[in-house]
Amino acid sequence: LVWLLVLSLAWLGPALGGEDKDEEVTEEEEKEKKEDEVLSDEIKEEDNVLVLHEHNFARALREYQLLLVEFYAPWCGHCQQLAPAFAQAATELRNESSPARLGKVDATVQTALATEFGITSYPTLKLFRDGNRTHPLAYTGRMDSRGIVRWVQRRAGPSATLLQDTDTISAFINSQDLVVIGFFKDLRAEAAQAFFEVAAEMVDMTFGVAEAAELFQVYGLSADTVCLFRKFDERQTNFPVDPERGLDTAELTRLLRVHSLQLVMEFTNETSNQIFSAKIPHHMLLFLNKSSPEQLSLRDGFRAAAGGFRGEVRWPHGRDMEGGFGTPQPQCPLFPAQVLFVVVDVTGHGADVLPFFGMTAADAPTLRLVKMENNRKYQMEQDNFSDSAIRTFIQAVLDGKVKPHLLSAEPPEDWDTRPVKVLVGKTFEQVAFDETKNVFVKFYVPWCPHCQAMAAAWEELAERYKDREDIVIAEMDCTANELENITIQGYPTLHYFPAGPGRKVGVGTCGVTSTWRMVAPSAPSAPMVQMVEYKSTRDVETFSKFLENGGTLPEEPP
């Protein structure tokens, strides 16, 4: 507002100073000029991005075959972060004479457009094809210039290249480290159309399609099949289409993600997104120091163990499918048992994840298995790096025969003399489950800004109740401590454990949000009782009302 005021004064300065009357521009004239600009259907550009509003939107749809529109808010930090990448993508597409263009709409001003297209968050990107205003396609790609360009290009042309002869298909397979080819006897059939849908979404892979009978024969196929060709590990992996159930796009996508990974991945900045986006339920990790030849040699046994846990799909009635992807019948659900094997260099990119495991570089070499649905970590009683020992350990974890390894810091010497009692994994139950105390616990992580913001209020609350024998104010750092029987999924989380007998809670985890995690609640094996989550205002007075009222907030008078 200050800058607007300064600029307004600068514009009006000549008029106020008595300049020639013909050169005066009054506020009213300026307003009329702006209104005329808005009412016009002229399409202006900023950094090759079309500036759209309700009066030129229809014209843009008529003029451009493909139009990717960003609905944004000027104050939105994510929109501001996206802006340079969006402009770069717009420039690249224009330079290559693509039929696609990028546009933007200020949804805070163009409210009619925002309402029409159901914009409720920023930024929202939608693709309009062939002037169709009623059924835009939601953007599903990455929010960077390369991701935007690839996503749009995949929709600007055929999502898969038609391969018609042996020379063409051979050159196509050898052109990339990894390609996907769908062999279909009828490219108009439903299964082939589903394949094209997958190809349109998976823009980080290269897709081809073939229907010539001779090509089926060359690659040893007799029925519709999706084939993954790699220059590493197995050369060709086949995913036959079930003739009765057809092709399930979600399952094909999952299988391609899983099998596009190397049998043993190395955790780097470039591979981390692949590792976590594949959504493989278990990760087996070998931590080593790559500068040590002796430790590097441990990769051989690790790799030998990996093959038995890749791509396995179990059927409950004894029917196993190696990579098949028909849509499962209700009585035959899929039971994926994949384990992704990952080598982590403790002196490289892997150094950043060591705190999550309570480790230092000196602990290498060592093995850990992570169950991704709940962040539970499993450790051998004594590391054994032979392939048979690794396979036996993994199978024991999958069969539920190994207990998770839980982190716990050592309690500070003065942990119970401070107003805020400092809990660690090994002391949590003795304090929180004390039947003579009402215990109010803050679960936090040190780097969380919300945790930092409420720290002073928590200290003040503890000071207020430090002389109360029946109330304990406590906290636990979830970067250094884990619990088997409490699930924490956001920070800070506040739980109240009331005094009284029978304190039992369901199975869960308390773990820090980190690189090696996927947030998902674990199903409790018993109903959670005698524990109340506090979800109201985080200030001392409201905390006090909650405590004085026995773990609930009193109803406010109308």
Residues forming the active site: 76, 79, 448, 451
For 318, the enclosing helix (H) or strand (E) is none
Q: How far apart are CA 252 and CA 240, in angstroms?
A: 10
Distance CA 367, CA 248 (A): 36
Q: What are the backbone angles phi and psi of residue 435, rounded to the nearest 5°?
A: -70, -10
| 296: alpha, beta or left? (left if phi > 0; alpha if psi -120 to 50) | alpha
The amino acid present at 506, given as its one-letter code, is G
Which secondary structure element, helix H or strand E, spans residue 41, and what is its range?
none
Among the listed residues 132, 253, 167, the one whose alpha carbon sits nearest the alpha carbon of residue 202: 253
399, 378 Cβ separation under 8 angstroms: no
In total, the chain counts a number of residues equal to 558
What Å distances lie between residue 397 and 283, 379, 483, 507, CA to CA?
12, 10, 18, 17
Q: How far apart are CA 165 and CA 553, in angstroms?
A: 73
- What residue type is assigned to position 400 of the chain? G
**How far is it, in rounded angstroms, from Cα 448 to Cα 461?**
20
Q: What are phi and psi of 273, to 5 degrees?
A: -65, -40
Task: Return left, alpha or beta for 256; rule: phi > 0 is left, psi -120 to 50 is alpha, else beta.
Answer: alpha
**CB atoms closer than 10 angstroms to residue 392:** 14
Which H helix or E strand runs over 400? none
Residue 388: HSE in the Cβ half-sphere, 13 Å Cα cutoff = 0
Yes or no: say if 479 and 512 are a contact pair by the CB < 8 Å rule. Answer: yes
Q: Is-contact 191 225, C-beta < 8 A? A: no
Token pair of 293, please? Answer: 């030849």
Cβ neighbours around 21 below 10 Å, total: 7
Exposed, middle or buried: residue 398 (CB in 10 Å: 0-12, 13-18, 19+)? middle
How far is it, in rounded angstroms, from Cα 56 to Cα 75? 24
- Rounded Cα–Cα distance for residues 185 and 182 (Å): 10
Nearest Cα to Cα of residue 503 among 521, 526, 482, 520: 526
Contacts of 114 (CB under 8 A, 6+ apart): 71, 105, 107, 108
> Residue 14 in 3-state DSSP?
helix
